[in-house]
A and B are shown apart, each in its own frame.
Chain A
Amino acid sequence: MKRRDFVKEIALGSLILKFNPGLFAQNKGTPDLAWIKGDSPALLTKEAIATLGGMKSFVSKGDIVMVKPNIGWDRPPKLAACTNPEIVKTIVELSLDAGAKQVKVIDNPCNPARRTYVRSGIAEAAKKAGAKVSFPNPHRLKKVALKGEWLKEWEVYTDFIEADKIINVPIAKTHSLSRLTMGMKNWLGALGGNRNQLHQKLDQVMIDLSAFFKPCLTVLDGYRILIRNGPQGGRLSDVKLHKTVVAGVDYVAVDTAGATFFEMSPQELPYLQIAHQKGLGEINLEKLVIEKRTL
């Protein structure tokens, strides 16, 4: 190579780099959390997953994927008691696009499933996207060794155990016992039995369950959040339009991010502290690579 060509190429290369600094940064690794703000719940979700490297990095071809939204209450989407149906729908679509064999949607609600599935709008939206939406099936309940610190065994819907991948799609709401209910509290909907007795040690239960179910991805619905009278609200004034979706593999980090929606720190949420101490995830947001974006 001639010296002149060499200088030319260096000059050209530095020019390209100057105007396109991301060229070599592409392989530096995906962020820990995708934190997207914007107007459309579906687009937020799509962007968040894309930021994390696309659904293909979580769902493999032929997987049976269990999507676990919160369908707990007989409340319409505008009251923010259940996960936004658009978000659930988008997750189902992305999973199927990524090659999932089947996507299932199940939640064991507090009000009758026949009502919550309809009024939340989730059953219709998820079905439209191609998911198999079914009511929790009492015959599929099985006492399972959870091997938790406190919760040794409990009745779990085996659909969750048999699935290849679990994607947790909670909504962010206030709760008078755990203070906030987001991803880690969402697992109570995968259980049967007398769940109400679990409240006596709820924080530990949430940790034990999260460690057991090990979702491959948590997508937190912060589009509408319930800022008072949680976890079911009831008035529009209980709802805040927050227009955010946070997604990540580290479910402790996702809940920590969710706490900031309510201007709360992880220090105020004992379950996050314990989960962090156990090494289940990070609560120090500074230590994480977070990709924040507004659409």
Chain B
Amino acid sequence: MKKERSKKYKILQALRILVQTLFFLLFIYLLFGTHFPGKDYIGRVEIFFHFDPLLAVAIFIASRTIFVSFIFAAFTVILTFVLGRVVCGWVCPLGSLHQFFSFIFKKSKLLKPKKNSDNRTVWKYYLLIFILVGTLFSLNLVGIFDPLSLLYRSFATSILPAVSHSFSAFIGLLYQVNLSSLGDILVQFYENLAVNPTFLQGFFIGVLFISIVLLNISRERFWCRYLCPLGAFLGLISRWNVVKLKIDPQKCIECNLCTIHCQTQANPFPEEEWKSHECVYCLTCSAICPTSAVCFPIKSTPEKILHVDLSRRKLIFTSILGLLAVPFFRLSPSARRASPKLIRPPGALPEKMFLQKCVKCGECMKVCPTNALQPALTEAGPEGIWTPMLVPKIGYCEYYCSLCSQVCPTGAIRELTVEEKTQIKIGLAWVDKNRCIPYVLGTPCIVCEEHCPTSPKAIKLVKIEVKLPDGNIKTPVAPVIDIDLCIGCGICETKCPVVDKPAIYVTSVGESRSERNQLLLDIIKTF
């Protein structure tokens, strides 16, 4: 028996790695490109998401509305229908990342490919069903598990900020060793990258992400193999698989290498048991085969497709679980009463609709020029975890900026022009007279008024009388809010010199998007 690996598949495998690298770099490029571009309107940096049919379907069902940009997802669907899960193996940036780390873990002997296959691959199908059953009742959990959302969120709120902190520290080191001219260049470069460095849940999201990557120590591409709901979705629609696995029985020495090294447990050997819906066409099997027995010829007849092996009982069980989850996720009071801290970005749809559409991807948090948008934890209820909210203690809503509304891939934040954006209220500011410097110390301050971006200013200064501890009376000017003019941008809170707990703060009441979260029953104005 001639022992020789197939050159053709070696080359194809190299090509696949190249394509994966390119798509991953494109993803990173668009991620880095998601910041104020020096002009008011940014291009389609969120395009990756629009090729994601899982998001398209889940949002369509959850919100009962069609978002036109998701038309690109049809391309992915057709591609998968014809060619199988090539998107998983050749395009998906999270898949590439997992594969890269699997490779690293294999090389470092942390991961030993196992002979036996298991039936945990069905998990992802149940997860998919769980998610989709929820969407029937408008419970949108797809963003938590969707690979693109997961990757983008983790990178934007955790990995990049961590890298940027290290980079900053490195620059600091340069100044310490008198390489300040190099430091100067790097600082300007760093400033131009505009990475938002501060995220409330950066640590938590980061730990989750790293855990998911570390799962690759247990099994190669653990996430893709067992968990990815998009992979499951694409597996279900890969019906034709024009390119089919073929093992030449003449050459095969039954060494089982192909199955051991299969990245997604598609079981190439024996040929009859090849699971086309698990195959991501990475071509590892054909490249690794010592006798060039495994190949992927084009065979246009649909045949021998093994169906996903889901038990009816478990299917019903999962559906019921998904059903039960719906009320469970809605136990929080957030639906009844608006949370004061839940200041949504300008253009955000009314809360119910917003939750149906937001996929927690973090695009808005990445693009925000002041780092103001942060992933929520409990503020929006359990279904609203990691949805964006403005935290004025960290940053504020920049007056002439509508970037978050432009990059939102699902329309959860309605696309706005800068002009439209300046008209939107996202909350109202309140003065804490117990802490405000003029009210307490009788000394001037006016910092909030100075920064208030509306014209005329929503913060007025009025003369007040302050009794000081020594009994003397001072008459400084102090801030008072004109709630008609206040748009809730929060710059007053960000810039307030009372650092620990600002003496002026914004809450969500009065937000334009809500009918109920209002301060005044101003019927004449609303209609």
- A residues apposed to B, CB below 8 Å: 74-75, 110-115, 118-119, 134-135, 137-140, 175-177, 194, 196-197, 199-202, 228-229, 231-235, 238
Contacts and interface: CB of A to CB of B under 8 A. Distances in A.
Interface in B21-79: 35-36, 38-39
A112 B477 contact: no
Main secondary structure of the interface of B (DSSP, over half): loop
A135 B400 contact: no
Contact of B455 (A138, A175, A229): A229
Contacts of B188: 134-135, 137
Contacts of A196: 447, 495-497
A114 B451 contact: no
B183 A139 contact: yes
A138 B172 CA distance: 9
Given A114-B194, A135-B187, A176 B446 contact: yes
Q: Across chains A and B, which 4 residue pairs bring their CB atoms closest together, nearest first?
A: A234-B455, A196-B497, A235-B455, A135-B191
Contacts of B194: 114
Interface stretch (B92-100, B247-255, B437-445): B437-445
B449 interface: yes
Contact of A200 (B171, B369, B443, B454): B443
A29 to B, nearest CB: 40
Contacts of A201: 443
Nearest to B369: A112
B36 to A, nearest CB: 6
Interface of B: 35-36, 38-39, 171-172, 175, 180, 183-184, 187-188, 191-192, 194, 369-370, 398-401, 437, 443-447, 449-451, 453-457, 461, 477, 495-497, 499
Contacts of A113: 191
Contacts of A119: 400
Given A114-B191, A234-B399, A238-B455, 18 more contacts: A74-B401, A114-B36, A114-B38, A114-B369, A115-B400, A118-B38, A118-B39, A135-B187, A137-B183, A137-B188, A139-B171, A140-B175, A176-B446, A196-B497, A199-B446, A200-B437, A200-B497, A232-B450
Contacts of A231: 450
B187 A74 contact: no
Contact of B497 (A114, A135, A137, A197): A197
A115 B446 contact: no
Contacts of B370: 112
B400 A74 contact: yes
Given A177-B444, A199-B445, A199-B446, A110 B184 contact: no
A231 to B, nearest CB: 6
Give the residue among A113, A175, A197, A235 with the most B Cβ atoms within 10 A. Answer: A197
Contacts of B172: 139
Residue among B175, B191, B401 with most chain A CB within 10 A: B191
A199 B449 contact: no
A200 B444 contact: yes
B515 to A, nearest CB: 29
Contacts of A114: 35-36, 38, 191-192, 194, 369
Contacts of A200: 437, 443-445, 497
A119 B398 CA distance: 13
Contacts of B495: 110, 196
Nearest to B499: A194
A107 to B, nearest CB: 14
B398 A176 contact: no
Contacts of A229: 455-457
Nearest to A231: B450
A80 to B, nearest CB: 12
A139 B456 CA distance: 37
Contacts of B184: 134, 137, 140
A176 B445 CA distance: 10
Nearest to B191: A135
Nearest to A113: B191
6 contacts: A110-B495, A111-B398, A115-B398, A134-B184, A196-B447, A199-B445
A207 B203 CA distance: 45
A234 B36 contact: no
B444 A202 contact: yes
B197 to A, nearest CB: 12
Contact of B175 (A139, A176, A238): A139
Nearest to B444: A177
Contacts of A228: 456
Contacts of B398: 74, 111-112, 115
A100 B173 CA distance: 31
Contacts of B445: 177, 199-200
Nearest to B456: A229
B174 to A, nearest CB: 8
Contacts of A232: 450-451, 453
A181 B370 CA distance: 25
Contact of A234 (B175, B191, B437, B454): B454
Nearest to A118: B38
B524 to A, nearest CB: 25
Nearest to B188: A134
Contacts of A137: 183-184, 187-188
A175 B450 contact: yes
A176 B172 CA distance: 38
Nearest to B496: A196
A199 B444 contact: yes
Contacts of A234: 399, 453-455
B187 A233 contact: no
Contacts of B35: 114
Contacts of B444: 177, 199-200, 202
A247 B370 CA distance: 36
B498 to A, nearest CB: 9
Given A200-B444, A235-B455, A115 B175 contact: no
Nearest to A159: B184
A234 B194 CA distance: 26
Contacts of B456: 228-229
B237 to A, nearest CB: 43
Nearest to B183: A139
Given A74-B400, A196-B496, A200-B445, A176 B461 contact: yes
Nearest to B450: A231
Contacts of B36: 112, 114-115
Nearest to A176: B446
A71 to B, nearest CB: 14
A176 B38 contact: no
Most buried by A among B35, B192, B399, B443: B399
Contacts of A118: 38-39
Nearest to B187: A137
B271 to A, nearest CB: 57
B455 A233 contact: yes
A110 to B, nearest CB: 6
Given A137-B184, A139-B172, A200-B443, A110 B400 contact: no
A94 B457 CA distance: 38
A270 B215 CA distance: 67
Contacts of B39: 118
B457 A74 contact: no
Contacts of B451: 110, 232
B443 to A, nearest CB: 5
Nearest to A158: B180
A46 B497 CA distance: 40
